[in-house]
Structure 1
């Protein structure tokens, strides 16, 4: 990955990028308003012919002034382009803001979960705690707050989390099951989506879902009627280094889980996982590492997402470089047996075993 090596921009290009950064909050809110007010859809329906400001104002039922300022801001943001007769038409970028699921899931997450809290980023860095979480209430981490977040924030959080993980499950489940596990620990199982899929894929395997008490309650509700004496629950706060795993797993699964912890916490969790795993068992870790992305936009997105962890989630974790995670594995007494990139949407699957 060579996305970030060197600095070959001319001064005028670099200054242009700096201006885009300075005005970035305006661009985001413009895109959000254009979509929410139906303007993107209206202009899209006009096709390549485009619409005038007056036509957009009429069809969207907003003032001519409102239509004009939003259209012009969208023009500078390359959401629209001008036709030969100076009408506004939807650009390719505008098309993706209107219709692309990934873009919309991300925008909702940024707006509903992160936007207000990011104001406290500097405080979070200095105090090493998620200072932005206070916009929702008084909690130590977002995870214990999930069930009490405002409905929009809660819905956007879960939608973002599931969008980027669930699409990969169908790819990785055959790899998890190829060693014929009898007991899988789904660590950080959240709402139980992976547990649900894997017990449907194998009618003999048993699963213990391990997570915070609030997430356990949510998972139980989701899995109601599907338990069939094959799903067990173990509520635990793994930030507590004295909290241990139950023993007896021949497979441990962690998906988008370890990025919720600091390096020291990750090593501690992995050490405890090692103690719970049979000697010939497998540890599967699925994570999105910013250095393993196929496209620069993927790496950029993960680097920015780290600041959500800093400001909102917990104050001490991030989306890691793969070398950091692999180093934690080695320190905890594991080695990586198999390392597969480009699983799902930019995920990496690490299959690990205990060092002898």
Structure 2
């Protein structure tokens, strides 16, 4: 059994808890001040100054920022531990070094700022309606998935950077798992831009790939497969899996789903698992690669995953989230599958669930 996650330190004093509560209350203010300091180069200037730091006069003398702007954002950054102020000189603190040098911090920051921030104001209405009402801040669409390639910049670049940064780290280590049973007919559901299919086709010259996704996404995948000269061993199946009657091609030795099921609500996941089970050969298997907040070794990963869920509510689907692994296992078993193995610690925060027919 997985251990219970606790994010508050044991024996936390009431005074400290009250301070943490104020950090939540003023979180949006700090977010925007730190964003300004990072994107407008204030933090980079402090990084280049090193341990001696810079006075406010020196920063102002560059002509890049007004004194008012510098005082306002630096003081907010100070309150968040992003910078230090010693002897009238401003320096980067450890959190500030993360802001200017850590890829995952920057990608998360851009994703929240460019894709989610304005839309999250509609979270309450989205939860009540079960619809991604915040998406209207990016465009007039019912769901984000069919229009990912049409998102306005910088939301489009930030979305794909976020998605690929988390998924790409897992691909190099999972191909042996994928081909452990020597599958010949492999189905990639939620193929997106075809990154997994490209890797699988290159890994095994005998495998036949079946890509399932919305037509808009398959158009991008087809272009990438053709550019790599791998399209002859790939078959495209445009499909909206939100339609319960949308059947999947059968006779599959292996079905692959990566960061896909989290795009749906539980009833839809149950329906997808039922159709996946029906698509398998007698000895066929299902591999689900996803991010489960309950299977994380480090609290930082669980924190990021839990707080990605409101994006799905307000911006993506209105009823999906980052799930616990037990949710997928329960729904898969109800669909006639049985769990064989679980492998954790893949990439940054992925786990691999392997199922067979019950």
Q: TM-score, normalised by structure 2?
A: 0.96
| Residue 119, structure 1, aligned to residue 113, structure 2 | no
Q: Distance in 1 between matches of 2:141 and 2:217?
A: 15
Q: 1:122 to 1:228 in 2, by over 3 A?
A: closer
Q: Distance in 1 between matches of 2:189 and 2:238?
A: 10
Compare 252-261 and 221-230 and name the one that shifted more: 221-230
Match of 2:186 in 1: 184
Match of 2:141 in 1: 139
| Residue 195, structure 1, aligned to residue 197, structure 2 | yes
Match of 2:296 in 1: 293
How far the C-alpha of 1:228 sits from its partner, in A, is: 4.6
Cα deviation digits, residues 160-192 of structure 1 (max 9, x gap): 111101110111011111211101101001000
How far the C-alpha of 1:299 sits from its partner, in A, is: 1.0
| Residue 53, structure 1, aligned to residue 56, structure 2 | yes
Whether the 8 Å contact between 1:38 and 1:60 is mirrored in structure 2 is no
Q: 1:5 to 1:120 in 2, by over 3 A?
A: closer
Alignment match of 2:154 (pick from 152, 156, 159): 152
Q: Distance in 2 between matches of 1:320 and 1:57?
A: 47
Kindly report which structure 2 residues correspond to 1:15-34, keeping only aligned pairs within 5 A, or say none.
15-34=18-37
Match of 2:351 in 1: 348
Q: Distance in 2 between matches of 1:2 and 1:274?
A: 31
| Residue 163, structure 1, aligned to residue 165, structure 2 | yes
Match of 1:69 in 2: 72
How far the C-alpha of 1:60 sits from its partner, in A, is: 5.9
Moved segments of 4+, more than 6 Å: none
Q: 1:282 to 1:33 in 2, by over 3 A?
A: same
Whether the 8 Å contact between 1:112 and 1:156 is mirrored in structure 2 is yes
Q: 1:321 to 1:140 in 2, by over 3 A?
A: same
Q: Distance in 2 between matches of 1:2 and 1:265?
A: 28
Whether the 8 Å contact between 1:287 and 1:347 is mirrored in structure 2 is yes
Q: Distance in 2 between matches of 1:15 and 1:137?
A: 39
Q: Distance in 2 between matches of 1:179 and 1:157?
A: 34
How far the C-alpha of 1:136 sits from its partner, in A, is: 1.9
Q: Distance in 1 between matches of 2:38 and 2:97?
A: 11
How far the C-alpha of 1:27 sits from its partner, in A, is: 1.2
Q: Distance in 2 between matches of 1:58 and 1:26?
A: 26
Whether the 8 Å contact between 1:37 and 1:60 is mirrored in structure 2 is no
Q: Distance in 2 between matches of 1:66 and 1:129?
A: 38
Whether the 8 Å contact between 1:40 and 1:90 is mirrored in structure 2 is yes
| Residue 256, structure 1, aligned to residue 259, structure 2 | yes
Match of 2:207 in 1: 205
How far the C-alpha of 1:5 sits from its partner, in A, is: 7.6
- In the alignment of these two chains, the number of paired residues is 354
How far the C-alpha of 1:88 sits from its partner, in A, is: 1.0
Whether the 8 Å contact between 2:222 and 2:231 is mirrored in structure 1 is no
Compare 270-279 and 225-234 and name the one that shifted more: 225-234
SS in 2 for 1:129: coil
Match of 1:101 in 2: 103
List gaps (5 residues or longer) in structure 2: none
Whether the 8 Å contact between 1:109 and 1:153 is mirrored in structure 2 is yes
Match of 2:6 in 1: 4
Match of 2:268 in 1: 265
How far the C-alpha of 1:86 sits from its partner, in A, is: 2.9
Q: Distance in 2 between matches of 1:9 and 1:125?
A: 31
Match of 1:218 in 2: 220
| Residue 311, structure 1, aligned to residue 317, structure 2 | no
Question: What root-mean-square deviation, in Å, do the aligned CA atoms of Structure 1 and Structure 2 show?
Answer: 1.3
Match of 2:83 in 1: 80
| Residue 337, structure 1, aligned to residue 340, structure 2 | yes
